[in-house]
Amino acid sequence: MEDIATVFPAVKILRNEPLAHYTYTKTGGPADYLVFPTNVQETKSLLAYAKQEDLAVTVVGNASNLIVRDGGIRGLVMILTEMNQITSTGQTVTAEAGASLIKTTQVAQSHSLSGLEFAAGIPGSVGGALFMNAGAYGGEISEVALSAEVLTPEGEIRQLTNKELDFGYRHSSIQDYHDIVLSATFALTIGDGAAIQAKMDDLNARRAAKQPLDLPSCGSVFKRPVGHYTGQLIQEAGLQGLKWGGAQVSTKHAGFIVNIDHATATDYLDLIHHIQEVILKEDNVHLETEVRIIGEKPTTEK
């Protein structure tokens, strides 16, 4: 195996790097190789290298709605946050996969383009937002995504239309076909810049009032079950404030789990499973996780 640092001297590459340094929960084991491509060609070449060397590939965006198990991730982990250019043409905004979704909404507002206000406080990347059809306050990425440029597992660059992205609730075809999002284009409408900013400010104020933004978390942990509100179910089951290791069901919003004392990913996952068991038993409702859970379980020391 030819050394990856020799093959890609211009790419930032870290070995056995703890992913806790990058996730919003501040938890997660090490990546064998953590790489930060800065453009499409580097991403494509890294994918080809991994295929040649039989290395598994995992793509991570801003790691805001992600739990990495304490055993870490084998193979090659790509963080695309160095690919973060955002441009606007006419009534569209195009952003690279690693661009901040929040920054993308700000660029849209600066061009008096409306449609992305709902995402003004979502901390993920554009690629991650497409991956899970991110949404908030009645809006979803599916409503504004015009197209996406993706890199297929076979190394082919494709342009996908909104229809081909096959959006659903917290779902897109990216999850099914394991494509790597390279960029996305959003179709917006001309609006009043001040009114757009006022709406973004209002939504951000509402978010700050209701969500525990001052503590590490993975955002909303569970999908909303049909006919129910997740936070209300958890509250009524007496689970709000419950601590598990260093993790806690947020006292501010029961749909969030926060890291209050050096929590591990295992603390998070054990607490998630406990909540699911209690709600299933008491309400006959299965809470499905919205947060993406990846990586390996830790090796038990003998």
Active-site option among 100, 147, 220, 250:
220
The pLDDT score that the predictor gives to residue 300 is 63
For the chain, list the domains and their CATH numbers.
4-79 (3.30.43.10), 86-208 (3.30.465.10), 213-294 (3.90.78.10)
* Residue 79 in this model has a pLDDT that exceeds 50: yes
Phi and psi dihedrals of 141, rounded to 5? Answer: -55, -35
Alpha-carbon span 134 to 132, nearest angstrom: 5
Mean per-residue pLDDT, 292-300: 91
DSSP 261: S
The pLDDT score that the predictor gives to residue 67 is 98
Mean per-residue pLDDT, 42-50: 98
Q: Is 290 a catalytic residue?
A: yes
Alpha-carbon span 7 to 49, nearest angstrom: 9
Per-residue pLDDT reduced to its tens digit, 244-272? 999 999 999 999 999 999 999 999 999 99
Confidence of residue 301 (pLDDT cuts 50, 70, 90): very low
Confidence of residue 147 (pLDDT cuts 50, 70, 90): very high
Active-site option among 96, 117, 149, 290:
290
The pLDDT score that the predictor gives to residue 2 is 78
Is residue 19 within 8 A of residue 77, CB to CB? The reply is yes
Alpha-carbon span 171 to 99, nearest angstrom: 20
pTM score of the predicted model: 0.95
Per-residue pLDDT reduced to its tens digit, 116-126? 999 999 999 99
Give the rounded distance of the alpha carbon of 282 from its chain centre: 30
Per-residue pLDDT reduced to its tens digit, 14-27? 999 999 999 999 99
Tokens (6 digits) for 260: 């209050």
Active-site option among 149, 170, 173, 250:
170
Per-residue pLDDT reduced to its tens digit, 207-242? 999 999 999 999 999 999 999 999 999 999 999 999
The pLDDT score that the predictor gives to residue 302 is 38
Whole-number percent of the chain with pLDDT over 90: 98
Q: Is 125 a catalytic residue?
A: no
Average pLDDT of the chain, as a whole number: 97
Q: Is 224 a catalytic residue?
A: no
The pLDDT score that the predictor gives to residue 49 is 97
The pLDDT score that the predictor gives to residue 255 is 98
Per-residue pLDDT reduced to its tens digit, 128-145? 999 999 999 999 999 999
With a CB cutoff of 8 Å and minimum separation 6, the contacts of 130 are 97, 141, 145, 148, 165, 172, 174, 181, 184
The pLDDT score that the predictor gives to residue 299 is 82
